[in-house]
Amino acid sequence: MHVAVDAAELFAGFWRDVVSLLVEAADRGYTQSATDPAFHSTALAADDLASAAVALLPPELDDELDNVVLDEDAQRLSVAGLIRAAEAATLRHPIEELAPGASGVIVALCELAAEAGT
């Protein structure tokens, strides 16, 4: 039996991963900025992007974001690595399949990934 998956469900599924990676990057960046202030601006940018990305999800999915757990590989990443992983996750689907407004988040995410470096 073939079960049709609606485009909005597909988007929400992988977009939660993007949000989770950005939230973790922001959290770690804020923590690390206590000893290295250079992390503060990266953390702030990741936090802003996470908020913009959350705004693209249907409101009924907000609670599901609390239940997302990063896999072991993602947990070992640096702040920059988490940002790059979020960027890579956006490449899984053609831009045409994404929610309106996602392209702006993706462009800003690509710029942040380039700035964050290694």
SS (H, E, C) 59-117: HHHHHHHCCCCCCHHHHCCCHHHHHHHHHHHHCCCCHHHCCCCHHHHHHHHHHHHHHHC
* Residue 101 included in any domain: yes
pLDDT tens, position by position, for the chain (118 residues)?
433 345 566 667 788 889 999 999 999 999 999 999 999 999 999 999 999 998 888 777 666 676 677 888 888 999 999 999 999 999 888 888 788 889 999 999 999 999 987 5
Q: Quick one: pLDDT at residue 41?
A: 94
* Residue 14 included in any domain: yes
Q: What is the pTM of this model?
A: 0.86
Q: Quick one: pLDDT at residue 3?
A: 39
* Residue 2 included in any domain: no
| Total of domains in the chain | 1
* Residue 23 included in any domain: yes
* Residue 65 included in any domain: yes
Q: Quick one: pLDDT at residue 58?
A: 76
Domain that holds residue 69: 7-116
* Residue 1 included in any domain: no
Q: Quick one: pLDDT at residue 92?
A: 83
